[in-house]
Structure 1
Amino acid sequence: MTNTIILEVTNDNEFLGLLEGDEVLVSTAEQPQSNGKDLAVFEAAGEHFVSTFTRFGNQIMLLGERIQVVREHQVKIVGKVIKRSFEGKEKAAAW
């Protein structure tokens, strides 16, 4: 598969159902919709994180356990999460 990257989750995010050690397959060719449902990978200050989001003008509202509002120029949307795998026995079955 081209234009994809695999990222390992380093912090639990129970709101999104992701735990440390899980992996996400990210399509850098697909842009997630800002509908609050698509999982997106963002980059800010050299760090990657996964969140759902919505837009208001030039602001992005990151939806999670804690809602955070950032200006569009403060983050880069890397791509859309297209698959998840889970740590342990389920990981092999998920891919």
Structure 2
Amino acid sequence: MSDSPVDSEEVRHVAELARVDLADEEVEEFTAQFADILSYFDTLDEVPEVESEEELVNVMRPDEVREGLTQEEALRNAAETEAGQFKGPRVS
């Protein structure tokens, strides 16, 4: 038995669950790729956790009420309007 955390039967099982047909060469390729991915997770497990208190700061500006466009100004450059509203192409 190999040192790999993933074997070809597990890859075939996952492929069957995903309803993906794999050739034998693809099974071997994915077995190696899955093993590599799992080793990356092992590497991430070795990273020490850092405890820190986050300083939360509101970076948003306060809302300000300002004068908006009139309906006429808003519709001025519209290609088509109908009953005071923008008119766009029909979606089918």
TM-score normalized with structure 2 length? 0.23
Q: Which has the higher helix share?
A: 2
TM-score normalized with structure 1 length? 0.23
Pair member with larger Rg: 2
Larger relative contact order (Cα-Cα within 8 Å, sequence gap ≥ 6)? 1
